[in-house]
């Protein structure tokens, strides 16, 4: 089987983060996994002990989506949501994102593009923030306290992924 490219991540300009990854599935399947609540619940969570407790998606232009992650150990919650701006299944999705506890200032605009070649889908998500400060806060988030995960847990995760 073809070796897929792992996640590539880059800060672009002052406002954007660009994520690129390949998936071994046709893009309509990937699109479905990105936009169907029962399916999103099965991957958009973690690291442990965080689970995606609420996942509501009204997949229409102007429709809203809402995610609530819950920490199974201490019961704390983290919610986020936004509005769909553009939907062109299975190739393009544009949505806003805002967290309930505004851990980065303002709102971001997420543009997801799926391209398919020989059964492999390339996923590109461009996350655009309102300010450089917001973008950098997001990039640093896993390393700072109060923004979800502790650095140690992530360090363990990094080690386990490299193993």
Partner 1 sequence: MTSTQRLDTTFGALADPTRRAILSRLTSGEASVMELSRRFAISQPAISKHLRVLERAGLVSRRRAAQRRLCRLEPRPLAEADRWLETYRAFWEARFRKLDTLLDELTAQERARRRPRRAGGGHR
Q: Which is nearer to partner 1, 61 or 119 (CB)?
A: 119
CB of residue 60 to partner 1, shortest distance in Å: 23
Question: Residue 137 to residues 44, 90, 126, 147, 155: CA-CA distances in angstroms?
Answer: 21, 31, 16, 10, 19
Q: Which is nearer to partner 1, 19 or 59 (CB)?
A: 19
Q: Which is nearer to partner 1, 61 or 151 (CB)?
A: 151
Applying CB under 8 A, the residues found at the interface with partner 1 are 6-7, 9-11, 13-14, 19, 21, 23-26, 29-30, 32-33, 39, 42-47, 132, 136, 138-144, 149, 151, 154, 157-158, 161
CB of residue 49 to partner 1, shortest distance in Å: 13
Q: Residues for the chain: how many in total?
A: 163
Pair 114, 30: CB distance under 8 Å: yes
Cα–Cα distance between 134 and 103 in angstroms, integer? Answer: 9
Residue tagged 């089987």 (tokens): 1
């Amino acid at each position: 089987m073809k070796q897929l490219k792992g996640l590539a991540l880059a800060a672009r300009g002052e406002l954007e983060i660009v994520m690129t990854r390949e998936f071994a599935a046709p893009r309509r399947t990937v699109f479905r996994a990105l936009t169907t609540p029962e399916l999103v619940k099965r991957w958009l969570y973690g690291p442990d002990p965080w689970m995606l407790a609420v996942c509501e998606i009204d997949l229409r232009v102007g429709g809203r989506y809402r995610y609530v992650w819950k920490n199974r150990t201490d019961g704390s919650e983290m919610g986020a949501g936004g509005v769909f701006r553009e939907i062109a299944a299975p190739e393009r999705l544009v949505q806003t994102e805002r967290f309930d506890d505004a851990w980065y200032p303002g709102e971001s605009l997420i543009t997801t593009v799926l391209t398919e070649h020989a059964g492999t889908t390339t996923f590109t998500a461009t996350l655009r923030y309102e300010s450089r400060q917001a973008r950098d806060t997001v990039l640093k988030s896993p390393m700072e306290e109060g923004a979800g995960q502790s650095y140690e847990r992530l360090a363990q995760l990094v080690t386990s992924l490299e193993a």
